[in-house]
Amino acid sequence: MKTVDVSVVTPDGPVLDDQFDMVSCKAENGELGVLPGHIPMVAPLSISSVRLKQDDNSVQLAVNGGFLEVRPDKVTILAQSAEEPGKIDVQRAQEAKKRAEQRLEQQQENVDHQRAELALKRAMNRLDIAQ
């Protein structure tokens, strides 16, 4: 079976560089599945998981936004951050989720609701991937 080279890169450096049969992720305009030979495209990514299939194995990453660049033989994910399940600090993610929920519950004018909602989405995504 043909594979596609996949690179996941963050500002801190490369996270993953391997070959996979399929890449599945959530772009801002919907779910995307990428197979080898896919037409070239660029799409903004949502805060979500990226699923990478390799034979009978699959790898999941928690990705916090960024871009997906697809070429027929290579997929590059440029993300704000990307974490493998085993590297997620679950306690830190739970604390971040709790802080964001508290900020959203307080109807104070000085609270940036959009920022708190994004922090909540990131924490929930990390917790989903870690489990």
Give pTM, 2 decimals.
0.82
Q: Are 112 and 48 contained in the same domain?
A: no
How do residues 85-126 score in pLDDT, each as one tens digit?
888 888 898 898 888 888 888 766 666 778 888 888 888 888
Q: Are 79 and 99 contained in the same domain?
A: no
Q: Are 9 and 58 contained in the same domain?
A: yes
Q: Are 34 and 68 contained in the same domain?
A: yes
Confidence class for position 56, pLDDT limits 50, 70, 90? confident
Number of domains in the chain: 2
Q: Are 95 and 55 contained in the same domain?
A: no
pLDDT of residue 33: 94
How do residues 66-77 score in pLDDT, each as one tens digit?
999 999 899 999
Q: What's 28's domain CATH number?
A: 2.60.15.10
Q: Are 44 and 100 contained in the same domain?
A: no
- Structure-block tokens of residue 71: 């070429």
Q: Are 60 and 114 contained in the same domain?
A: no
Q: What is the DSSP string of the chain?
A: ---EEEEEEETTEEEEEEEESEEEEEETTEEEEE-TTPPPEEEEEEEEEEEEEETTEEEEEEEEEEEEEEETTEEEEEES-EE-GGG--HHHHHHHHHHHHHHHHS--TTS-HHHHHHHHHHHHHHHHHH-
pLDDT of residue 110: 66
pLDDT of residue 19: 95
Q: Are 51 and 75 contained in the same domain?
A: yes
Range of the domain at 111: 89-130
Is there a contact between 72 and 40 (Cβ–Cβ < 8 Å)? yes
How do residues 3-55 score in pLDDT, each as one tens digit?
999 999 999 999 999 999 999 999 988 999 999 999 999 999 999 999 999 98
